[in-house]
Amino acid sequence: AGDDSKMGTAKNAMTYSIIGVIVALIGFVVVKAVDAMLDGFVIF
Handedness of CA 9, 10, 12, 16 (dihedral sign): positive
Beta carbons within 8 Å of 36's beta carbon, 6+ residues apart: 43
* Predicted pLDDT of residue 28: 97
Tens digit of pLDDT for each residue in 3-42? 889 999 999 999 999 999 999 999 999 999 888 888 876 6
Domain count, the chain: 1
Q: Which domain holds residue 8?
A: 1-44
Look up the pTM and report it.
0.67
Alpha carbon distance 28, 20 (integer Å)? 12
Are the C-beta atoms of 26 and 16 separated by less than 8 Å?
A: no
